[in-house]
Chains A and B, each alone.
Chain A
């Protein structure tokens, strides 16, 4: 199997999986959608360090999947 399309575009498997999950959640019926959308959110703050000090621009201050 040659390289996956998503790999060639530069996504990792995790990003690909999250994108698929988002698509599935989007296609749910409205009653079930509300609960499912909450599962997709994540709050993570990552900071890159350079020479022992944290650099101000964080790697990914992401709220929401991905």
Chain B
């Protein structure tokens, strides 16, 4: 099946709150890159941040309901407290499963069971993505706020020094003027 024939649905996992560094923008960036390759993909947006970033240009692509040959979920996977990776994971559709290599290893699979399993896997994968995204967002927010506080602290220190220096310079100048004025009398 050529790439043109495939219908694709993209799921973006973000949340509503900001102040978390590049969490939301990295998911949106990956999705925008994919939309350049495949312009007619449809979108499902989880979270206000994804909606805000994508609705202007790609608003028409937000989901209507139909069958898709390929479903991809973009989320942030937790790597460590200071690092996260934006990953995409394909979610299983019925076509994918029946076409899989090891499909024949399983017996007593009929359409019913496959459909039920497909739905279950979809829910589970989305839940997994949400958990990972939540974790990455929490740690990213922690590091972002931490560096923001540190930067603010440094700025306060530098500005305090400048302030004191200026204040002392002004006082010194006034003293000099007074003294030279007094000396001139």
| A interface residues (Cβ-Cβ under 8 A, vs B) | 1-4, 7, 12-14, 17, 48-53
Contact = CB atoms under 8 A, between A and B. Distances in A.
Given A1-B110, A1-B113, A52-B60, A17 B55 contact: no
B115 A49 contact: no
B11 to A, nearest CB: 13
B95 to A, nearest CB: 18
Interface string B105-119: 000001011011101
22 contacts: A1-B112, A2-B112, A3-B112, A4-B112, A4-B116, A7-B112, A7-B116, A12-B119, A13-B116, A13-B119, A13-B120, A14-B119, A14-B120, A14-B123, A17-B120, A48-B63, A49-B62, A49-B63, A49-B64, A52-B55, A52-B60, A52-B62
Given A12-B119, A13-B119, A14-B123, A49 B59 contact: yes
